[in-house]
Amino acid sequence: MLSTLSLVALGGAVGASLRYLSGLAIVRLLGHTPFPVTILFVNVVGSFLMGAFVVAAAHRGLTHLSPLVMTGFLGGFTTFSAFSLETMTLIERGDTAQAALYVLLSVVLSVGGLAVGMAAARGILA
């Protein structure tokens, strides 16, 4: 139990750190934008990685790494709690159209990223 918890903690620390660094990189690239691009980016990339890992782990017998990768790393990297906050911030600013677009893009692109990740992993592992 303690070793599993340690793996989750390690993965979470790495994932959260990478999320932070990704945010810095995107802000440097695009500047500050009123639309929460950084959170959208990490959610789509994280969903792609989740899809790829699920397939790869099943094919390669690596499901024992799920606490490290899925719960820890990808849980720390993706940001649906931050997604919720960004959505409410847009709504409270009166930008309901932006909020609706953000929710739609986040859900559609993240699920799409997961599907593409699964297909990519299946193509590589087939």
Residues 101 and 34: beta-carbon distance below 8 Å: no
The pLDDT score that the predictor gives to residue 1 is 77
**What b-and-e string marks burial along 4-22, b requiring 16 or more CB atoms within 10 Å of the CB?**
eeebbeebbeebbebbeeb
Known binder of ligand: residue 75? yes
The pLDDT score that the predictor gives to residue 8 is 97
Domain ranges of the chain: 2-125
The pLDDT score that the predictor gives to residue 68 is 97
The pLDDT score that the predictor gives to residue 15 is 97
Known binder of ligand: residue 123? no
Give the global pTM: 0.84
The pLDDT score that the predictor gives to residue 2 is 81
Please identify every stretch of the chain with a pLDDT value under 70, giving residue numbers as ranges. Answer: none
